[in-house]
């Protein structure tokens, strides 16, 4: 199974003491999760006050640290609107990135997603697009970048595990029925993390794990670090 490690998101060190937040910590975690069995790594640039950023200088600092520590790593970051004041600023910030990640994620639940996805492709990055609910799917399917995606991320918002799995499968069915041929990736949050990992394995899709999504192992105990979560997926799925 293809596995992405999402090493931090907006999670704080008060939630888990080993969440990587500095450039050096993100770089070290990138190397660790790849050694544990992750295929690619997704990170969010963090600010000293615990926030998130897509400013070019902050992104460049993290990417330089990663490439000095794990030069062969394939890494990506977010373009989420919560990192800036809105779609206009997001577009200008992504346009001004001078050190580029290998891939960038665009959520089609957000205003300006189509334009941002086009910019990601235009700038030479690999695109992955995300949908959170069935309401996001039409915009994704109508996007001019649809067939440029390396993968489609399905991130159901349902908090109940069974409902989340059902929603993910319904979105995947609709996307595949539209002729999309790139891989599909499921991932959850909190209580839905492990049910969606299992569903991804059952359905032949990709999966994601890491502190951005949850901090516990399949048995409910706290993971020591992101690498432990990656190893747990490999043990659970047998690959």
Phi, psi (degrees; rounded to nearest 5) at 80:
-55, 140
Measured between alpha carbons, how far is 170 from 44 in angstroms, rounded to an integer? 28
Distance of CA 94 to the CA centre of its chain: 17
Measured between alpha carbons, how far is 130 from 153 in angstroms, rounded to an integer? 4
In this predicted structure, what is the pLDDT of residue 162? 98
- As a whole number of angstroms, the longest Cα–Cα distance in the chain is 44
Task: Give the predicted TM-score (pTM) of the model.
Answer: 0.97
61 close to 96: Cβ distance less than 8 angstroms: no
Measured between alpha carbons, how far is 74 from 130 in angstroms, rounded to an integer? 19
> Which of 16, 74, 49, 1 lies closest to 235 in space, CA to CA?
1
Distance of CA 189 to the CA centre of its chain: 12
Measured between alpha carbons, how far is 40 from 42 in angstroms, rounded to an integer? 7
Phi, psi (degrees; rounded to nearest 5) at 46:
-110, 145
**For the chain (length 239 residues), average pLDDT per consecutive 10?**
97 96 98 98 95 98 98 98 97 98 98 98 98 98 98 98 98 98 98 98 98 98 98 94
In this predicted structure, what is the pLDDT of residue 239? 80
In this predicted structure, what is the pLDDT of residue 166? 98
Measured between alpha carbons, how far is 67 from 17 in angstroms, rounded to an integer? 24
In this predicted structure, what is the pLDDT of residue 149? 98
The secondary structure of residue 53, as a DSSP letter, is E
Please, which residues bridge with residue 130 across strands?
Answer: 107, 153
């Amino acid at each position: 199974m293809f596995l992405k490690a999402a090493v931090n998101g907006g999670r704080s060190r008060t939630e888990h003491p080993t969440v990587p937040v500095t450039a050096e910590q993100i770089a070290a975690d990138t190397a660790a999760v790849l050694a544990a069995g992750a295929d690619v790594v997704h990170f969010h640039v963090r600010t000293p006050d615990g926030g998130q950023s897509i400013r070019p200088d902050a992104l460049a600092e993290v990417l330089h640290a990663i490439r000095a520590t794990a030069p062969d790593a394939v890494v990506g970051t977010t373009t989420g609107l919560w990192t800036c004041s809105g779609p206009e600023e997001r577009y200008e910030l992504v346009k001004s990135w001078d050190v580029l990640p290998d891939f960038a994620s665009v959520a089609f639940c957000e205003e300006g997603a189509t334009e941002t996805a086009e910019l990601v492709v235009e700038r030479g990055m690999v695109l992955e697009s995300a949908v959170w609910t069935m309401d996001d799917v039409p915009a994704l399917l109508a996007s001019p970048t649809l067939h440029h995606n390396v993968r489609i991320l399905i991130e159901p918002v349902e908090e109940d595990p069974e409902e989340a799995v059902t929603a993910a499968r319904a979105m995947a069915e609709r996307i595949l029925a539209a002729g999309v041929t790139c891989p599909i990736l499921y991932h959850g949050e909190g209580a839905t993390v492990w049910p969606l990992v299992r569903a991804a394995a059952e359905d032949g899709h990709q999966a994601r794990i890491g502190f951005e999504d949850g901090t516990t192992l399949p048995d409910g105990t706290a993971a020591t670090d992101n690498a432990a979560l990656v190893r747990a997926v490999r043990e659970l799925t047998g690959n």
